[in-house]
Amino acid sequence: AARHFDTRTTEPVSFFLSGLEELLSWQPDANDDFNVASVPLAKRQPPLHSRRPRTLVCHDMRGGYLEDRFIQGSATRNPYVFYHWRYIDIFVYFSHHTVTIPPVCWTNAAHRNGVPVLGTFITEWTEGEKLCEAFLAGGEEAYGAVAEQLARIAQHYRFDGWLLNIENTLSAVAVGNLPFFLRDLTARVHSAVPGGLVIWYDSVLQNGVLKWQNELSPENRVFFDACDGLFTNYNWKEEHLERSRALAGPRHSDVYVGIDVFARGDVIGGGFDTDKSLRLIRQQGLSAAIFAPGWVYEHLGEENFLQNENKFWGSLDEYLPTHSICTLPLTTSFNLGMGTSRFLDGKEEETGPWYDLSAQEIQPFYPEREGWLNTSCCLQDAWCGGSSLRVQGTIPRGEERLAVRLFSLQMPAPPKLYLTLLYKLEGSYADDIAVALELTTWDSATCYEGNLTSLPEPNGRHHPRFLPAPPPGLAKLLNACHRGNNGWTSRCYELDLQDCSLRDLSLLVSRHQPSLQETPFSCLLGELRVLDAASMVATPPRVENVSASQLWWQ
């Protein structure tokens, strides 16, 4: 079927639905299996329903379904990737097709990093009017059938809900049924998808007129009240924000104020001035909807994309509350889901570009301190996949070490942890530098390292003990203790904690000798793992009833 497979190559592809007929006739299909997300939504802290302001990213690029439609990847050179997941709460895949089902690679990458993904249901222009008339003016049965199909589609493909965008005028009957449809859809999505969401875009008003408000207003509030949130249009001023805040009351974090990064129309700031818009939004305690951050890729070009992307998100970090990992194991080789080569165990296995967001792994923070520290993706060398994490900077004079925060954690510490690290030191100062891992815990009078006779660590900083060889019985799982090769060094550590709560995981860069000079350093991180010792000795569940389908032998 042309919908499920590329007509040129026969590769499985992600797809959209056009028009009401395609939506209502949709049924799960045996060819669909490729499009079902395989990665469950990871837990993280704080959860989405906490009251702090959120950040939604709405991805809209050249009509959508570009190279990201190839479910098993493609040989794309310099593709667009998103990896600053620690900053965001919700990811929306947007296109102008009636029913935008997010390409499964995006759902897999977002879920692995704890971010829910929404598809888009959109109606526009005269065609949109006709479509809305057909299901909204038809009464409860007609709009209930549409709500049911949208909820089933999200449940079947395992994404997390919908952005609704009705950008056309509506008849009195149709607009009268719209809040009931929205309420019905929201209830069905909540029931079908754990943690599911329905968000309304600021477009048509309660009288059926298409008129963007750029705020939560008495004219669009009826739709806000019927679902999980409102995504406002982009041409707002400060007074719009103040009125939205007042009208939303305790639901102020459900108002997602739109920022068009392309800065089209009369806007406060886009591009590298996006922080100006974000600052005003946060002053009112509102959430933000960052539209088309692919501007970095489309406007500034593909060549220095990764560098520009870090610069863009770094410029906003003051206004982006971050998220913490709250489950173990934590394991990543920092793979972006793209590369110019493929590496395995530090060795280049295949050269040539590749792109497959489903292969993207858990992403860290990318900390930046001007002149002192830079964190970036390195495509030229990796331990496994297509990229490693390059941490470079300077240990200031008079300082012995520098801690580079990679992950925020929020969970009770198990009694014993194992940590593994694969790294490679670069540059002429490599012999002067040592790297290790540092775990911090939240301040607590009851938290001890080792046993109860130990003293509490100052500032909750813990430096796991180096293990020259894995403990008996764990050699296979902890083979990282001495498996470094191709220039990579491998280290294994253990840490015993009592009644502690984990806070941050950092890379600790230190000098071998004290020095009054600045010491530059550059280090590639190839793999990092934090493991709960108790779960490692447990017998893994048996895998049963494995079946394979849709095989094409070459």
Taken in order of first residue, the domains within the chain and their CATH numbers are: 16-26+62-71+79-324 (3.20.20.80), 330-536 (2.60.120.260)
Q: Tell me the percentage of the chain whose pLDDT exceeds 90.
A: 83
Helix (H, G, I), strand (E, B) or coil at 452: coil
Residue 330, strand partner residues: 530
Report the pLDDT value the prediction gives residue 454, as an integer from 0 to 100: 56
**What is the spatial distance between Cα 366 and Cα 312, in angstroms, rounded to a whole number?**
12
Report the pLDDT value the prediction gives residue 10, as an integer from 0 to 100: 87
Apex CA 398: angle with CA 393 and CA 400, to 5°?
65
Torsion on CA atoms 513, 515, 520, 525, rounded to nearest 10: 30
Q: Helix/strand/coil (H, E, C) string of 346-378?
A: CEEEEEEEEECHHHCCCCCCCCEECCCEEEEEE
| Beta-strand pair 99-100/117-124 | antiparallel
**Residues 490-549: tens digit of each pLDDT:** 999 999 999 999 999 999 999 988 888 899 999 999 999 999 999 887 787 899 999 888
Q: Are 147 and 154 in contact (CB under 8 A)?
A: no
Handedness of CA 204, 291, 261, 278 (dihedral sign): positive
Report the pLDDT value the prediction gives residue 2, as an integer from 0 to 100: 76
Which DSSP helix (H) or strand (E) runs through 70? none
Burial track 227-247 (b if 16+ CB lie within 10 A, e otherwise): bbbbbbbbbbeeebbebbbeb
**Residues 60-105: tens digit of each pLDDT:** 999 999 999 999 999 999 999 999 999 999 999 999 999 999 999 9
| Beta-strand pair 287-291/255-260 | parallel
Is the model's pLDDT at 374 over the cut of 70? Answer: yes
Tell me the CA distances in angstroms from 98 to 95, 190, 200, 363, one per residue in order: 8, 22, 15, 32
Sequence-separated (6 or more) residues with CB below 8 Å from residue 30 = 549
| Beta-strand pair 433-441/117-124 | unpaired
**What is the spatial distance between Cα 337 and Cα 347, in angstroms, rounded to a whole number?**
18
Would you call 134 exposed, middle or buried from its count of C-beta atoms within 10 A (0-12, 13-18, 19+)? middle
**Residues 335-354: tens digit of each pLDDT:** 999 999 999 999 999 999 99
Q: Tell me the percentage of the chain whose pLDDT exceeds 70.
A: 96
Report the pLDDT value the prediction gives residue 460, as an integer from 0 to 100: 85
Q: What share of the chain is helix, strand, coil (3-state, %, to 5)?
A: 25, 30, 45
| pLDDT grade for 473, boundaries at 50, 70 and 90 | low
Find the mean pLDDT for residues 104-120. 98
Phi/psi of residue 64, nearest 5 degrees: 75, 175
**What is the spatial distance between Cα 209 and Cα 261, in angstroms, rounded to a whole number?**
27
pTM for the structure as a whole: 0.96
Which residue is listed with tokens 């395609």?
22
**What is the spatial distance between Cα 102 and Cα 93, in angstroms, rounded to a whole number?**
6
| Ranges 197-201, 382-386, 464-468: which has the least confidence | 464-468
**What is the spatial distance between Cα 408 and Cα 390, in angstroms, rounded to a whole number?**
19
Handedness of CA 264, 209, 278, 106 (dihedral sign): negative
Q: Are 70 and 13 in contact (CB under 8 A)?
A: yes
538-546 long-range Cβ contacts below 8 angstroms, 24+ apart: none
Neighbours of 8 (CB within 10 A): 6
Mean pLDDT (the chain, rounded): 94
Find the mean pLDDT for residues 315-326. 96
Report the pLDDT value the prediction gives residue 30, as an integer from 0 to 100: 84
Find the mean pLDDT for residues 204-227. 98
| Beta-strand pair 55-59/44-45 | unpaired
**What is the spatial distance between Cα 487 and Cα 128, in angstroms, rounded to a whole number?**
59
Sequence-separated (6 or more) residues with CB below 8 Å from residue 396 = 372, 402, 518
Q: Could you tell me the two tokens for 171?
A: 């008849």
Q: Are 518 and 532 in contact (CB under 8 A)?
A: no
Find the mean pLDDT for residues 228-253. 98
Is the model's pLDDT at 456 over the cut of 80? Answer: no
| pLDDT grade for 480, boundaries at 50, 70 and 90 | low
Report the pLDDT value the prediction gives residue 335, as an integer from 0 to 100: 97
Q: Could you tell me the two tokens for 534?
A: 């108790």
**Residues 115-154: tens digit of each pLDDT:** 999 999 999 999 999 999 999 999 999 999 999 999 999 9
| pLDDT grade for 477, boundaries at 50, 70 and 90 | low
Is the model's pLDDT at 177 over the cut of 70? Answer: yes
